[in-house]
Amino acid sequence: MQIKSEPTVRYDIFMAGDIDQAKQFCREFCFIAGLCVHIEPVDYIYTGGEEAGFKIGLLNYPRFPANNADLHDTALNLAEKLRGRLCQHSYMIVGPDMTEWFSVKDIKDTTGEKK
């Protein structure tokens, strides 16, 4: 039996879109990158509506060890490529110390000014 251990590092990607397409893209990405992820369905409920999506989890898997910065870069790379593949406008990455929201759409603040 082999036992390997690494420091715990976790990143979660949250995105709307078709989970089956996301799974297929993750298969392709993980095969090339030497990565293991988990994916689960998520229902987003917001003011005026709801939509289906998913959460992709990246862990510092001892078989493919990575430090915090490298795993963060991998999460960003995966999320941005997946955003394009699924034709989404935004996604969020939740890490150990920071939550980041990414959007390609112009947003307006409460005064109507673009940010």
Q: Show the domains of the chain with their CATH numbers.
A: 10-103 (3.30.70)
Q: For residue 108, is pLDDT > 90?
A: no
pLDDT of residue 61: 87
pLDDT of residue 33: 87
Q: For residue 110, is pLDDT > 60?
A: no
Which helix (H) or strand (E) covers residue 33, if one does? helix 19-33
Nearest CA to 10 out of 77, 97, 101 is that of 97
Q: For residue 100, is pLDDT > 70?
A: yes
Q: Taking the alpha carbons of 23, 26, 32, 35 in that order, is the dihedral positive or negative?
A: negative
Q: For residue 104, is pLDDT > 70?
A: yes
pLDDT of residue 109: 57
SS3 70: helix
pLDDT of residue 113: 61
- What's the Cα-to-Cα distance from 74 to each of 2, 26, 109, 112, rounded to whole Å? 26, 12, 31, 35
